[in-house]
Structure 1
Amino acid sequence: MREPILLTPGPLTTSLATKAAMLVDWGSWDAKFNTLTASVCADLLRIANLGDGYVCVPLQGSGTFAVEAAIGSMVPKDREILVLVNGAYGQRMAKIATVMGRKVSVLAVSDGTPVSAAAVAEALAANPAISHVGMIHCETATGLLNPVAEVAAVVQAAGRALILDSMSAFGALPVDGLPVDAVISSANKCLEGVPGMGFVLVKQAALVQGQSPSLSLDLCDQFEYMQKTGQWRFTPPTHVVAAFRVALDQYWAEGGQLARLARYQANGDALLAGMKKLGLQSFLPADLQAPIIYTFLAPNHPEYDFQRFYQAVRARGFLLYPGKLTEVETFRVGCIGAIDQAEIQQAIAVIAEVLAELGWAD
């Protein structure tokens, strides 16, 4: 029996080659492993294509660790960060900044509503204490694609710095040439690695020694130590880095960002069409949807229960994601990972079977 297919935003289904890469043990200070780390960082900068002056700082842990490291290391203690919130991950960024002891302003709109570049411009004009703006690229709570280019232009025009959480988008959605100070992501999303390593692609000039309130999450210290020694400051996730190297090799073999986006978009189109036939409605309109994860309104049935639904679908080989909205019952289906339209069509057939079995089909 095959492993379950993860229709989630990460961790996600990985290829056999990526899994197999973790069967080899590595010395954390060994020159061969240092070379491996350097090659991964070089590829991440190549994918981003942000221009000169950017460096890659890898970090142990989940993507949230990298977000916390970026905010703590980049936002001065006597300045303020404006966090743009239209979902759970914007809320998390604001909470991180608060816990890190930074002054925080929040520009919030409802779930499923794009951030307004005009509203950002107005907020920046009204508060000169704001030095940085924090933004989510793809708000995974709904699948919403935020207007990153428009907001980035406004932030640049106001002379402020943009920190972009591109966790669920980087590698599939382009960031080429955006006027940002930092782009944050992790191995286990659109680059199809495994969990355990985040990274920040950041302007080297934005790294200031002694700014971070954390030892382990100090981007500047991590970068400078790696430059001097080629090594991670603390025990690196060796097997994760090795798997990431193989995942990146497959990324280039597939055709890079454009090919990865095309596959995910085809997956998403097939998913929407299939779910529509089952009477399941997408939460977002098509023009706001990123081809990463899709939120669907739950079946309109008084006995609907996500856990029953989840377990029945899981028993047939697919893992869904619970909804993250408070005002309406939803569930989420991801279309990223080492899957294509064949797996999406199989999942739709399974969902149809489960809905009929439970008596929830329209």
Structure 2
Amino acid sequence: MTQPSALTPAVSETGDPLLLTPGPLTTSRTVKAAMMHDWGSRDARFISINHAVLAQLAEIVHGEGAYVTVPVQGSGSFAVEAMLTSFVPRAGKVLLLINGAYGLRAKRMLDIAGRETVVYASAEDTPPDLAQVEALLRQTPSITHVFAVHCETTSGILNPVAEIGALAAKYKKSFLLDAMSAFGAVPLNAPALQADAVTASSNKCLEGVPGLSFVVCRREALAATQGNATTLVLDLLDQWRNFESTGQYRFTPPTHVIAALHQALDEFAAEGGVEGRGGRYRNNCRILIEGMTALGFEPLLKDGLQAPIIVTFRMPKHPRFDFQHFYDGLKTRGFVIYPGKLTVAESFRIGCIGRIHETEMRGLIAAVHDVLKEMEITGVADAVRS
């Protein structure tokens, strides 16, 4: 791929702008092509494809045998709400560890469902203090479940889920994990975490397309959720029992999305699974941070907290820096980035995931430099930071 400039915008394999976002994201030509066929939802071939997809998703988090994958038609938030409202009984109480928008969303879901919560909140650039988490568990024996977000894409922070899972197990609490943005790129062992359920979706690190989410559930824990669900369509146990008895969805599945995910999982395996996919993303993240830092931008997070999924940069204070101009200039050059969602600082975000490689990341840095020149912001880092 040629280096982008105002005259040569970067494009994906199919000529679209590159999506440097946390999803939807840039997908391969072959994943797109997998959606060019129509599938009957009760056709034997489609049922076989779906079965293979569900089995492989559980394997990614080492859940073979003890865990099953329950798909949910919809975006990732559908699976999170299905997990929370299926696993938490009416008399349950959830310790929510919140350091971003997705933890807050889980709180809203539980409030609507009438489930009691205990909130431990930290700043968006700060992981939970494990000593305080343990103190809450020790002081509040009525807590039945612990909920955490693996990679909180509000900031890009990687939360200490292994330690959180160990605390949940120590105090005999059910551990529920939103792994939406890290599943497939950051190593995750559901049995070692003693997690009862882990959620993710098709359109993040697996590089499928939007429309399917899923919950990898410990089989015994799922069986114990009878009567918990607050809705019919988000009842994970009912969904799974239908698969066991018929091999089919209760309601119309997103057939094209599932076929695309089947292809995406083949490509995921060919790249080396979590190790290979995560390695490429880590390299993308390194190039992004090094290049942006050299141009004067300041990452929000320290190295040890940064997940290789999406990077938040503080908004420059230079008097000539205008984010809309910056965003539009990058889009014209073929790169779509994301505005920030922080309360702790003005910011914007750039993703490292999707069908993006080193060449495209270096092209992005060249495009950022080009846009800064267009905005008459040149020179050393201090000129950008002001």
- Alignment TM class, shorter chain as reference: over 0.9
CA distance in 1 between counterparts of 2:77 and 2:279 reads: 27
The answer as to whether partners of 1:50 and 1:178 remain within 8 angstroms in 2 is no
Question: Which AA in structure 1 matches 2:204?
Answer: K
Q: Does 1:48 align with 2:61?
A: yes
Distance 1:350 1:231 in 2: 47
Which amino acid in structure 2 is aligned with residue 71 of structure 1? L
Q: Count how many residue pairs are aligned between Structure 1 and Structure 2.
A: 362
Instruction: Compute the displacement of 1:230 (Å).
Output: 0.5
Match for residue 202 of structure 1 among 205, 208, 217: 217
1:213 and 2:226 aligned: no
Which residue of structure 2 lines up, in the alignment, with residue 28 of structure 1? 41
Q: Does 1:341 align with 2:358?
A: yes
CA RMSD between the two structures: 1.1
**1:78 aligned residue:** 91
TM-score of the aligned structures, taking structure 2 as reference length: 0.92
How far does residue 51 in structure 1 lie from its aligned partner after superposition? 5.4
Alpha-carbon separation, structure 2, partners of 1:168 and 1:95: 20
Q: CA deviation at 1:117?
A: 2.0
Deviation at 1:296, TM superposition (A): 0.6
Match of 1:237 among 240, 254, 263: 254
In 1, the alpha carbon distance for the partners of 2:47 and 2:94 equals: 34
TM-score (normalizing by structure 1): 0.98
Which amino acid counterpart does residue 152 of structure 2 have in structure 1? E
In structure 2, the residue corresponding to 1:22 is in which secondary structure?
coil
Q: CA deviation at 1:116?
A: 2.0
How far 1:302 sits from its partner (Å)?
3.0
Match of 2:239 among 222, 236, 240: 222
Aligned 8 A contact 1:116 1:151 in 2: no
**Where do residues 1-362 of structure 1 align in structure 2 (5 Å cutoff)?**
2-50=15-63, 52-176=65-189, 177-207=192-222, 208-361=225-378, 362=383
Q: Structure 2 counterpart of 1:298, which letter?
A: M
What is the aligned-residue identity percentage? 49
Q: Which runs of 4+ in 1 moved over 6 A?
A: none
> Where does structure 2 lack aligned partners over 5 or more consecutive residues?
1-10
Distance, in Å, in 1 between the alignment partners of 2:245 and 2:132 is 43
CA distance in 2, matches of 1:229, 1:304: 58
- Give the Cα–Cα distance (whole angstroms) in 2 for the partners of residues 172 and 118 of structure 1: 28
Give me the whole-angstrom Cα distance separating, in 2, the residues matched to 1:56 and 1:138. 20
* Structure 1 letter corresponding to 2:351: G
Secondary structure class of the residue paired with 1:23: coil
SS of the residue 1:332 aligns to: strand
The superposition leaves residues 81-110 of structure 1 with CA deviations (integer Å, 9 ceiling, x where unpaired) of 111001111111111111122111110011
Give a deviation string over 1:163-208, Cα, whole Å, max 9, x none.
Answer: 0000000001111232111110000000000000000001122222
Q: Look up the SS of the partner of 2:145 in the other structure.
A: strand
CA distance in 1, matches of 2:64, 2:48: 23
Counterpart amino acid of residue 245 in structure 1: H
Gaps of 5+ in 1: none
- Kindly provide the amino acid, as one letter, of the partner of residue 253 in structure 1: A
Distance (whole Å) between structure 2 residues aligned to residue 32 and residue 337 of structure 1: 28
CA–CA distance in 1 between the matches of 2:321 and 2:229?
47
